[in-house]
Every structure is written in C-alpha cells, then in structure tokens.
C-alpha cells in the first residue's frame, strides 16, 4: 500500500491553527509565495494520516513528495533552500551562522518562556510572563538598531519572532511606553502581506494584538 507521503501530489503542511511553531512555518510559506496545501488539524486528536507520517503527531509536519519533516526550524530552512527567491537567510556562511544563532537564542530565551506560559495552570504563569516582558524590554536597543531584527532585510529570524509578538496581548503581556521600538518593529512585520496571509481564523481573532502593540 502506498504511504501517505507518496500519495501527496503537492506539498502539504499539517498545522494547528493556534500553534506558534506552525505559525512561523506558515509565514515562510506565504512570504515565498509557495503553492502548498495547508491542512489544519486538532493537535489533541491528530488524524491517522499525520501519525503515519510523524510518530510524534506534532505540528507543524510538512510533506514534500517522499520527504517528511516535523520540526519547525528544519521546515523553515528547507523551504528557504528549496525555494531560494526571495532569500530569507543571508547568503554568506558567517552571516547565515549568526542568523541561526539568533533563532536559537530566541527559542531558548523567549519561546521557552512562551511554552511555559501556555502550558501552565492558574497563577503559575506570573513569573514566566514577568521574565518574558523584562527580557523583551531589555532587548529594546536590539529592536531599534535595524528595520528588522538586527538586519536591514526581512529574514527567518523575523519569521521566528513575529508569532510570539502577535500573541503578547492575548497572554496578558502589555509593553510599556518606552518599548516603542518593539511596537514599531512589530507593526512593520504585521503589515506584511505574507504575515497577514499566514494567519489562521483563530489567530485573526487575536487582531487586537496589532492594535495594542501600535497604541
């Protein structure tokens, strides 16, 4: 019997409509204008097709002919290399390595706190929210340094960071007045056609994120 991967005639991205990791993979898809099927699933009840492809049943999971990938950073880099225009990673090895380190640090320093907040129950999120807010505020000079995150060009680093910023108000994290560089950066990202196209219906319900960050 043919495998699920071999039965797929076009690239398919299995996503949760609210998963922040799925969101950043979708941003790359739309920024590059890649023709792909985006299939939204309930991550708490993954379909058998997904479990056949990915034994962990996690999202995002991407199928491109016989290739199956199920880690967001790997998916994002694969899409950038598979569809090189427009490039979302620097071309030279040193700059590319630095960009990868930035993504790693965003994951380690900020996404780890986001995961803790989303998984916590009751008031156990208070400390993580405080640490995340303070860490972002401490990075204001970094947000102010360039139009994009430490870059003159939109990149995979921005694709990584945007979903987290979009969710801040919904998490109850309001940025103070002095965080204007973060708000201005977020506004530039949120207005991009690729970002708007990447939003699921559930994520669009968080539209007040843009209003609050732009206030």
Cite the active site residues.
19
Closest alpha carbon to 23 in 215, 193, 197: 197
* Spatial CA neighbour of 102 closest among 160, 146, 143: 160
The Cα 135–Cα 140 span in angstroms is 9
Sequential DSSP letters for 73-98: HHHHHHHHHHS-SS--S-SSHHHHHH
Distances in Å between the Cα of 147 and the Cα atoms of 83, 182, 184 are 24, 11, 9
Classify residue 81 by burial, with Cβ atoms within 10 Å: 0-12, 13-18, 19+: exposed
Q: Compute the Cα dihedral for 158, 162, 165, 171 and give only its sign.
A: negative
Tokens of 104: 């790693």
Give bridge partners of residue 26 from the DSSP assignment: none
List the structure tokens of 23: 């969101």
């Amino acid at each position: 019997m043919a495998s699920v991967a071999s039965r797929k005639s076009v690239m398919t991205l299995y996503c949760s409509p609210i998963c922040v990791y799925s969101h950043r993979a979708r941003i790359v898809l739309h920024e590059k204008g890649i023709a792909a099927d985006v299939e939204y699933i309930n991550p708490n009840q993954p379909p058998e097709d997904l479990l056949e492809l990915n034994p962990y049943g996690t999202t995002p999971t991407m199928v491109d002919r016989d290739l199956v990938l199920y880690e967001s950073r790997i998916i994002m880099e694969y899409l950038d290399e598979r569809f090189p225009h427009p490039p979302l990673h620097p071309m030279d090895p040193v700059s590319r390595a630095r960009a990868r380190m930035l993504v790693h640090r965003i994951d380690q320093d900020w996404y780890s706190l986001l995961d803790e907040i989303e998984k916590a129950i009751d008031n156990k999120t208070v400390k993580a929210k405080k640490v995340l807010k303070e860490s972002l505020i401490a990075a204001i000079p970094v947000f102010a340094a360039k139009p994009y995150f430490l870059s003159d060009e939109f990149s995979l680093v921005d694709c990584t960071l945007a979903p987290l910023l979009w969710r801040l108000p919904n998490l109850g994290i309001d940025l103070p007045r002095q965080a204007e560089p973060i708000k201005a950066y977020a506004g530039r990202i949120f207005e991009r056609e690729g970002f708007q196209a990447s939003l699921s219906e559930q994520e669009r319900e968080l539209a007040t994120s843009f209003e609050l960050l732009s206030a």
